[in-house]
Amino acid sequence: MSISSTKQEGEPLTNSILNSMSVGKIFRESSKHITSIDFDAKGEYCVTASQDESLRLYDCKQGRLVRTIYSKKYGCDLARFTHSPNNIIYASTKEDDTIRYLSLYDNKYLRYFKGHTQRVTCLEMSPMDDLFLSSSLDQTIRLWDTRTPVCQGIINLQEKNNSKQCVAFDHAGYLFAVGIDSYRIHLYDLKDYQNGPFEVFEINVDNQGPVEWTSLKFSNDGKYILISTNVNIIYVIDAYEGTVLQTIEGFENKCQLNLAAGFTPDVKYIYSGSQDGSINFWERESGKHVAKLHSHTEPSSVVLFNPRSLMFASADVNLVFWIPKEYLGH
């Protein structure tokens, strides 16, 4: 399988293209559920973290597994590329709550980021430089620089015990958002975060029961924020006004899974996995459900669109690369 000819530049996504997306390759190396997927900035490589305590690097163009690294002592989750396709940061799931900076090239730790005292729930790399953000059940947001182990800044959140916080950089890396207690979004200027948020949005929606936010994501144009939840609801928020523009439903999540939705790179569509294993797409502007794709037999808890090429990846225990049907066999 090759995706080198499927460049997204100049080829706008359409409903028909989304419905033509087909399984290009299935990778069955993982023995337990995959919990995170990330692409490098050029879209050439994909990295996964799995509950079997493995980190795996894949070549997207050639559709092959490049390397497997095990993190048996510390576990692994939230694997994120830095600005080098050879290096990642990732969170621990046992032993301690240290964030590790790993060279995939020679399997060496480059740095350790110590400070969190409970499990790290979110890791977000700046799109512009070497800074990254982490949130934790210890109710702190921490700002780091991959070039030094010293924490660059801390935001203490006085919220209810063990409530999960979400963090996200905007597309330009000038500001970041923190989702607090599943009803407030705080916006911070990266250069002035010590003085508190410059904007606070209270997201007022009518829910039948308690809903926990599981992730925040900015759109590539900076105009929208996507809120994923632990039920079958996704919210599209106006990033300037804090108003709810769309309430996305029509997928399954009765087990309160951590399903992280996303925007396609052109911001025309929203996508999410589902408890029934399907991958779903909606028009961002209308909220209309336009595609439902099937491959997984277990919940498709992680889905991510390639930032540069017309392909996306999804995972349950297996990792699936999806490409347009017309490119199959190329």
Residue 208 pLDDT > 90: no
Query: What digits encode the pLDDT tens for the residues 92-111?
Result: 998 889 999 999 999 999 99
Backbone φ, ψ for residue 19 (5° rounding): -70, -15
Q: How many CA atoms lie within 13 A of 127 on its CB side?
A: 17
- Indicate the pLDDT class of residue 210, thresholds 50, 70 and 90: confident
Among 1-10, 33-42, 184-193, 272-281, where is mean pLDDT lowest?
Answer: 1-10
Element (H, E) at 221: none
pTM beyond cutoff 0.85: yes
- Indicate the pLDDT class of residue 207, thresholds 50, 70 and 90: low
Using an 8 Å Cβ cutoff, are 29 and 68 in contact? yes
Residue 245 pLDDT > 80: yes
Sheet holding 64-70, edge to edge: 34-39, 45-50, 54-59, 64-70
Using an 8 Å Cβ cutoff, are 263 and 284 in contact? yes
Residue 4 pLDDT > 50: no
User: Hey, what domains does the chain have and what are their CATH numbers?
Assistant: 17-327 (2.130.10.10)
Q: In whole angstroms, what is the distance from residue 298 CA to residue 315 CA? A: 9
Residue 5 pLDDT > 50: no
